[in-house]
Amino acid sequence: MTISQRRSKRSATSSRYKKNRSKRLSEQGRSPTLTKVDERKLKVIRTVGGNHKQILLRDNIVNLLDKKTKKYSKVKIVSVVETPANRHFVRRNIMTHGCVIQTEKGKAKITNRPGQEGTINAVLF
């Protein structure tokens, strides 16, 4: 069975909805990406309208914003310190939106969704 992003076959009262069309490939879901700290690896996926999405599987470099100087720099990631998504992601070095990472310049918070955007952006504490 695949993961579906489609409306359920049944309503809240458990009656069936009338089927108006067949399944579409664009309604197919995916399992979470779980971006890890390691050498860079991307996966390109076709999306709706023939467009492409870059899924980041692994990366060890972050685009880091320093609020004081207001400048970006590419910095190496050391490890994941804490994450609000799942406490076990810290042990496995899995990066998600909002997680705190240890970089060569200090601790930083990830501000984007690396598994869906293909890059890692963070702000220095």
Q: What is the pTM of this model?
A: 0.83
Is 38 part of a structural domain of the chain? yes
Total number of domains constituting the chain: 1
Is 51 part of a structural domain of the chain? yes
Is 41 part of a structural domain of the chain? yes
Amino acid at the residue 98: G
- Euclidean distance between CA atoms 3 and 25, whole angstroms: 11
CA dihedral in degrees (90, 95, 100, 106; nearest 10)?
Answer: 100
Is 42 part of a structural domain of the chain? yes
Domain span at residue 116? 27-124
Is 76 part of a structural domain of the chain? yes
Is 120 part of a structural domain of the chain? yes
Q: Which CATH number covers residue 67?
A: 3.10.290.70
Say which DSSP state 16 is in. Answer: B
Per-residue pLDDT of the chain in tens (125 residues, 90 and over written 9): 789 999 999 999 999 999 999 988 888 898 999 999 999 999 999 888 999 999 999 999 999 999 999 999 999 999 999 999 999 999 999 999 999 999 999 999 999 999 999 999 999 98
Is 21 part of a structural domain of the chain? no
**Token reading at 64:** 């880091």
Contact present, 26 and 45 (Cβ < 8 Å): no
